[in-house]
A and B are shown apart, each in its own frame.
Chain A
Amino acid sequence: MEYTNLSKYAEELWLCARCGDCSLADKTVASKRDVFLPCAVKNVLGFEAYSARGRIMVMNDLLNDKIDLTDDVLQWLYTCTTCKGCQETCAATAEGIKLPEMTEALRNDLVNAGYELPKHKAIEESIINLGNPYKEERDKRLDLFGERDWPEMADVIYFVGCTSAYREKEIAKTTVELLDKAGVNYTILPEEECCGSVLLRLGHKRAFDALTKKNIEAIKKTGAKQIVSACAGCFRTWKIDVPKEGHSHDFEILHITEFLDQLVQEGKVAFRSPKPIKVTYHDPCHLGRHAEVYEAPRRVIEAVENVELVEMETNKRYAHCCGSGGGVKGSHGELADKIGANRIKEAEETGADLLVTACPFCHRGLVDGAKYGNSKLEVLDLPEFLLPFMVEATGKREVGENPLKTEFMAYLSNHPKIFDGLKKDAVIDYDIEGDRFHLVIAKKGQVVVYPIRAENADVELTFSKGAVRKLVTFESEEEYAKQFGLFFKEPTDDEWIKFNLRLNLVKLLMKGYRKFAQKAGLI
């Protein structure tokens, strides 16, 4: 058997040193990352073969002909949700060992060689013939919206996605209602096709190109500049996979959480809960780890008056998966339910009244998980959660209301030399005792400061107010850097700086942080 696609990862498969972090790590206290037993699948099934470390050992054995390719391999291969929790935990390379990609490569090899699960074949056929994986009729796709004429031209396309169109209809309905109420100039493609996510995840890539071309053509005709999706899977496919598979387009791809976040920041929408509620948020893997959107949904939830957001033990880039992705729900339903039930338990431990997520697939998986685990915890998707709380917007929200934050932001914008040496797109998050903003290196000698917390910072820097008050008084970048280093090395009760490295050391060095640390006299 030729493993054409998997073989491309042979060096990386060899480099995995089987440290076991991706399977067994708890980094919560020792290195202050919210990692806890990262593989939600291994946590249910127990044996090492289900974690990334074990999967890599199995893959190496396949490549080296130490084990035979049997139906067992096929069953095993479709137990990975490709959630990327392992890769995010793995510190062996800058990106982490790319187990999800390897899994999809091996799936593709097997499919190409004729090994495929009958269920998956049926899904592929349904997508090719009907434009959706659920064997539903093509012309019923938009029935959920009732009789409605969609404009031919609009600024924004709401890409509904198959799961919202045929299964999780409430998500699509509430999204449309939100967009209507917010007065957004949008439309829906009358002949929308499946985005192809499921094909890529299952390794059945053949039909992907045709679908994508068709969708791109249809969107172009509407003149839209933005594609908004309330499905994390569609969003990731459009944002990450479509360009990766070689399809170029100029549309801006936004998840509904990002789109609403912008509207909230611009003061175009507002939300208020009539009574106080405590909410926790589940990060969909497609939205979080795969597309690095963590803060927008949180900002939107926190923008709802009377709502308190509490975090689960594993969250953001280290959040446990809901169990439904990567073809697991379709291939091994009970496994998905058990993983979902574990995630529900985690949510319950926060004491939240409600679990909110932002993906129809996660929503279904979590609802089923709650049922499986006999939990009464209510699970809502973000548009469903928001709609009843929508109130009249009162204009642009004040940002940078803390004068010290505003002053620090202005200071950093005017002193880009502080960041000499950092590569383009390096992101530093600033926290002045709870007040957040972030800075991005736009290009050499130019930084852009945003008044909100970064989606996925390289480093988080926490400052005491006293430290900021002193730092903004320095004329020269050299003096600033020196004092910055001193606050870190010799902190006092009033003047201190703390670091939280969000990326592993290898990646930080590649992004140019060595020079930054040298300038600050840290090294």
Chain B
Amino acid sequence: MTIVKASKKHPLYEELAAIVGEDRVNDNQVIISSYTQDACHLTAERPGIVVLPNTVEEVQAIVKLCNRTKTPLIPAGGRNGICGAYLPRVKGSVMLDMASMDKIVTIDEDVMTVTVEAGLRWAELIHRLDEKGYKLGFRGPYGGNAGTVGGSTSINSIGYAASKYGPSTEGVVSLEVVLANGNIVQTGTGWKKGARPFARYSAFHDLTGVFLGDHGTLAVKTKVTLKIYPKAEFITYGDFGFKTLEDACAAFLEVQKRGLTEELNLLCDRQSTDTFFPGFLDRHSEINAMFAAIAQETDEQLASRKMEIVREIALEHGGKDLGNFAAQMHWGEMFNLVQPLYNNGFWLNTCHLRPITLIPELMKRDLEIFKKHKLLKNGIKWIASCLGADRAFATGWVTIFAPDKSKMELALKAWNEMLDATIDSGGCPYWSGLLWENRVLKTVSKPFLDTYKVIKNALDPNSIFSPHVFEGVD
């Protein structure tokens, strides 16, 4: 049913309504307002019309319509990205809100995969798998209550359980995508008619990889097949503190190299720990950096032994056993950890990847920026946190919180310098989006970008999918 009636001014209104019905297409400005930002402060153009498809056939028909009329089309997931990736760069775009394509298509227990519609959110996927006795590898970004599998794999999201399983994209076995010409393509073993999507690499090159991290520029993902694992009931936790960030990073690297943990979360200085878990280090005045470690296994002894080894490594590097409260809270509050931090103010993020050995360099640069702008005096707190990821690298999540509107200008100044420092000190963003794009384009090699453009032109010659993404932001 419809309450706020469409204004029916968008040129494709009638044809879109013929595809999905009037209840699921709307160009009224009241409806449009709610699709003009994601979970960061950045803004771009307002979409021209929003459509809620329910099936791949509807997506296909919408894509064909947009291609025929050369109308920009932007896929959107949970819209809780933090780089403005889903925001249109041009006026009049058709926005596909994929959130109602959220079904679990199959759990294939023989080959341990789950196939889901792209608009399914990570938290619900975990819930449904848990009921059946399974877990995912990568569990979802920290915003996985609203973040979707399709959205996350389109921007290389990374988060829970990355220590063992790497980013969201590493868990992908196969994709179903709708191309600009309306073709529906299944990747992985899906190349073979009637085959189940059970393996990613088969007979051809890795077509899956072409669409991962594409920021919605090459196709609409309609289904994603992910690896699953038996639910592991035995979880062990450990918190370890270090006098210096360098010691912490050395231990962190060793733990990560040995593949011991499901989740490994480094907090780079005392302020970061205090922002996350106020009071946690009050009794440990000598500690500057800490990490929380989580091991998860189907066998109790294995889980315990792994945490013992983590402990041994930490102590060998001069670490102190701080108990396990932070690790337990961290894991127990899955997808709920970051939102309480909004109480400190609106957040400005710098999410990126970096070698673990380059974490101290970043911290040095950022601390100088914090000092220069007297952030703490201005009530602007920070968190510098790094997750162990995929063998031996880390995410870098240095975030500052502007306590109110009046402090936003100062926070933005510091944040822009932090973004430069991040890139200069060896960081590579997970995603581009409005947030990183200009900096990414400054540092990208020409042959790399040209290759992307060749693929884009070949797959989407009318550039209907998210036009002008990867071309720079005004």
Give me the interface of A with B, judged by CB distance under 8 Å. 11, 14-21, 23-33, 36, 44-51, 53-55, 57-58, 61, 66-68, 70, 72-73, 75-76, 79, 90-94, 332, 334-335, 338, 485, 488-489, 499, 501, 504-506, 509, 514-515, 517-518, 521-523
Is B31 within 8 A of A49, CB to CB? Answer: yes
Is A46 within 8 A of B282, CB to CB? Answer: no
Question: Which 10 pairs between the two chains have the least Cβ-Cβ distance?
Answer: A20-B146, A54-B34, A25-B145, A48-B34, A92-B342, A91-B339, A26-B124, A49-B34, A30-B334, A24-B146
Is A92 within 8 A of B340, CB to CB? Answer: yes
Contact A93:B1 (CB < 8 A) given known A18-B37, A20-B39, A48-B79: no
Is A58 within 8 A of B145, CB to CB? Answer: no
Q: Which residues of A contact B328 (CB under 8 A)?
A: 488
Asked whether any CB of chain A lies closer than 8 Å to the CB of B283, the reply is: yes
Q: How far is the CB of A418 from chain B (nearest CB, A)?
A: 17
Asked whether any CB of chain A lies closer than 8 Å to the CB of B471, the reply is: no
Is A506 within 8 A of B343, CB to CB? Answer: yes
Is B127 within 8 A of A29, CB to CB? Answer: yes
Q: How far is the CB of B100 from chain A (nearest CB, A)?
A: 6
Asked whether any CB of chain A lies closer than 8 Å to the CB of B442, the reply is: no
Asked whether any CB of chain A lies closer than 8 Å to the CB of B377, the reply is: no
Tell which of B123, B146, B325 touches A489, judged by Cβ atoms closer than 8 Å: B325
Q: How far is the CB of B148 from chain A (nearest CB, A)?
A: 8
Q: How far is the CB of B278 from chain A (nearest CB, A)?
A: 6
Stretch at the interface among B21-29, B172-180, B356-364, B368-376: B21-29
0/1 string, B111-142, CB within 8 A of A gives 1: 00000000001011011001000000001000
In the complex, what distance in Å separates the CA atom of A16 from the CA atom of B78? Answer: 16
Is B146 within 8 A of A25, CB to CB? Answer: yes
Asked whether any CB of chain A lies closer than 8 Å to the CB of B335, the reply is: yes
A-B contact pairs, 30 of them (CB 8 A): A17-B39, A20-B146, A21-B145, A24-B145, A25-B121, A25-B123, A26-B123, A30-B127, A30-B139, A30-B336, A31-B334, A45-B3, A46-B23, A47-B26, A47-B50, A47-B52, A58-B34, A67-B29, A72-B28, A72-B30, A76-B3, A76-B4, A76-B30, A92-B343, A332-B3, A504-B340, A518-B283, A522-B323, A523-B280, A523-B283
Q: Which residues of A contact B126 (CB under 8 A)?
A: 29-30
Most chain A beta-carbon contacts within 10 A, residue among B23, B29, B280:
B29
Is A20 within 8 A of B79, CB to CB? Answer: yes
Q: How far is the CB of A483 from chain B (nearest CB, A)?
A: 14
Most chain B beta-carbon contacts within 10 A, residue among A20, A73, A485, A517:
A20
Q: How far is the CB of B228 from chain A (nearest CB, A)?
A: 14
Q: How far is the CB of B402 from chain A (nearest CB, A)?
A: 10
Asked whether any CB of chain A lies closer than 8 Å to the CB of B144, the reply is: yes
Q: How far is the CB of B128 from chain A (nearest CB, A)?
A: 9
Is B342 within 8 A of A17, CB to CB? Answer: yes
Tell which of B39, B144, B325, B332 touches A517, judged by Cβ atoms closer than 8 Å: B325
In the complex, what distance in Å separates the CA atom of A335 from the CA atom of B126? Answer: 30
Is B33 within 8 A of A46, CB to CB? Answer: no
Q: Which residues of A contact B97 (CB under 8 A)?
A: 46-48
Nearest B residue to A96, CB-CB:
B339
Q: Which residues of A contact B347 (CB under 8 A)?
A: 17
Tell which of A14, A70, A93 touches B405, judged by Cβ atoms closer than 8 Å: A14
Task: Known pairs A19-B342, A515-B279, A518-B282; list 14 more (Cβ under 8 Å).
Answer: A18-B37, A27-B145, A27-B336, A29-B123, A30-B139, A30-B144, A48-B35, A49-B33, A54-B33, A58-B30, A75-B3, A75-B4, A509-B278, A522-B325
Is A514 within 8 A of B343, CB to CB? Answer: no
Q: Which residues of B contact A67 (CB under 8 A)?
A: 29-30, 33
Is A31 within 8 A of B33, CB to CB? Answer: no
0/1 string, B1-44, CB within 8 A of A gives 1: 11111000000000000000001101011110111111100000
Is A19 within 8 A of B145, CB to CB? Answer: yes
Nearest B residue to A10, CB-CB:
B405
Is A18 within 8 A of B342, CB to CB? Answer: no
Nearest A residue to B24, CB-CB:
A46
In the complex, what distance in Å separates the CA atom of A25 from the CA atom of B346? Answer: 20
Interface size class of B (residues with CB under 8 A): 35 or more
Most chain A beta-carbon contacts within 10 A, residue among B23, B97, B99:
B99
Asked whether any CB of chain A lies closer than 8 Å to the CB of B277, the reply is: yes
Q: How far is the CB of B191 from chain A (nearest CB, A)?
A: 33
In the complex, what distance in Å separates the CA atom of A73 from the CA atom of B34? Answer: 13
Tell which of A57, A93, A521 touches B342, judged by Cβ atoms closer than 8 Å: A93
Is A32 within 8 A of B332, CB to CB? Answer: yes
Is B278 within 8 A of A514, CB to CB? Answer: yes
User: Which B residues from 322 to 349 make CB contacts under 8 A with A?
Assistant: 323-326, 328-329, 332-336, 338-340, 342-343, 345-347
Is A57 within 8 A of B37, CB to CB? Answer: yes
Is B34 within 8 A of A506, CB to CB? Answer: no
Q: Which residues of B contact A332 (CB under 8 A)?
A: 3
Nearest A residue to B6, CB-CB:
A72
Asked whether any CB of chain A lies closer than 8 Å to the CB of B167, the reply is: no
Asked whether any CB of chain A lies closer than 8 Å to the CB of B404, the reply is: yes
Q: Which residues of A contact B335 (CB under 8 A)?
A: 25, 27, 30-31
Tell which of A24, A335, A504 touches B121, judged by Cβ atoms closer than 8 Å: A24
Nearest B residue to A517, CB-CB:
B325
Is A30 within 8 A of B123, CB to CB? Answer: yes
Q: Which residues of B contact A93 (CB under 8 A)?
A: 342-343
In the complex, what distance in Å separates the CA atom of A91 from the CA atom of B323? Answer: 26
In the complex, what distance in Å separates the CA atom of A369 from the CA atom of B29? Answer: 31
Nearest B residue to A43, CB-CB:
B100
Q: Which residues of A contact B1 (CB under 8 A)?
A: 44-45, 334-335, 338
Q: Which residues of A contact B333 (CB under 8 A)?
A: 31, 501, 505
Asked whether any CB of chain A lies closer than 8 Å to the CB of B396, the reply is: no
Is B334 within 8 A of A92, CB to CB? Answer: no
Q: Which residues of A contact B4 (CB under 8 A)?
A: 47, 49, 72, 75-76
Is A19 within 8 A of B146, CB to CB? Answer: yes
Q: How far is the CB of B110 from chain A (nearest CB, A)?
A: 24
Is B30 within 8 A of A49, CB to CB? Answer: yes
Q: Which residues of A contact B30 (CB under 8 A)?
A: 49, 58, 67, 70, 72-73, 76
Asked whether any CB of chain A lies closer than 8 Å to the CB of B463, the reply is: no
Q: Which residues of B contact A25 (CB under 8 A)?
A: 121, 123, 145-146, 335
Asked whether any CB of chain A lies closer than 8 Å to the CB of B466, the reply is: no
Asked whether any CB of chain A lies closer than 8 Å to the CB of B80, the reply is: yes
Q: How far is the CB of B323 from chain A (nearest CB, A)?
A: 5
Nearest B residue to A509, CB-CB:
B278
Asked whether any CB of chain A lies closer than 8 Å to the CB of B48, the reply is: no
In the complex, what distance in Å separates the CA atom of A72 from the CA atom of B36? Answer: 18
Nearest A residue to B347, CB-CB:
A17
Q: How far is the CB of B379 from chain A (nearest CB, A)?
A: 13
Q: Which residues of A contact B37 (CB under 8 A)?
A: 18, 57
Is B143 within 8 A of A19, CB to CB? Answer: yes
Q: How far is the CB of A257 from chain B (nearest CB, A)?
A: 30
Q: How far is the CB of B30 from chain A (nearest CB, A)?
A: 5
Q: Which residues of A contact B340 (CB under 8 A)?
A: 91-92, 504-506
Q: Which residues of B contact A47 (CB under 8 A)?
A: 4, 26, 31, 34, 50, 52, 97
Q: How far is the CB of A342 from chain B (nearest CB, A)?
A: 13
In the complex, what distance in Å separates the CA atom of A61 from the CA atom of B33? Answer: 7
Q: Which residues of A contact B38 (CB under 8 A)?
A: 18
0/1 string, B247-287, CB within 8 A of A gives 1: 00000000000000000000000000000011110110000
Is B3 within 8 A of A79, CB to CB? Answer: yes
In the complex, what distance in Å separates the CA atom of A54 from the CA atom of B80? Answer: 12
Q: Which residues of B contact A72 (CB under 8 A)?
A: 4-5, 28-30
User: Which B residues from 51 to 103 make CB contacts under 8 A with A?
Assistant: 52, 78-80, 97, 99-100
User: Which B residues from 388 to 431 make CB contacts under 8 A with A?
Assistant: 404-405
Q: How far is the CB of B299 from chain A (nearest CB, A)?
A: 16
Q: How far is the CB of B382 from chain A (nearest CB, A)?
A: 16
Nearest A residue to B80, CB-CB:
A20
In the complex, what distance in Å separates the CA atom of A397 from the CA atom of B79? Answer: 53
Nearest B residue to A486, CB-CB:
B323
Q: Which residues of B contact A75 (CB under 8 A)?
A: 3-4
Q: Which residues of A contact B145 (CB under 8 A)?
A: 19-21, 24-27, 30
